[in-house]
């Protein structure tokens, strides 16, 4: 199931096949964990703090898995 198929307490706007999801949150860690479940199918536009945190996590994960990619 993707975000567009599920009803959330937030604002969903589908435009050109994309979904814009807006919601209030109280727990940044929980928000980031939820966003990461969508993998490369999601991009955080804001808050900037979430975007920066996810970018940092992805860089760390890339370093971990980079070694195996060449095998």
Mean pLDDT of 12-36: 83
- Helical axes 28-36 vs 48-69, angle rounded to 10°: 50
Please say whether the beta carbons of 22 and 10 come within 8 A.
yes
| 16-23: Cβ within 8 A, 24+ apart | none
Lowest mean pLDDT across 21-25, 29-33, 67-71: 67-71
Whole-number average pLDDT of the chain: 81
Please say whether the beta carbons of 42 and 58 come within 8 A.
no
């Amino acid at each position: 199931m993707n975000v567009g198929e599920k009803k959330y307490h937030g604002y969903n706007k589908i435009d050109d096949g994309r979904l814009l999801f807006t919601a209030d949150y109280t727990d940044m860690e929980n928000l980031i964990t939820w966003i990461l479940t969508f993998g490369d199918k999601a991009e955080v536009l804001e808050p900037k703090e979430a975007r920066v945190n996810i970018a940092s996590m992805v860089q760390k994960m890339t370093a971990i898995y980079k070694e195996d990619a060449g095998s």
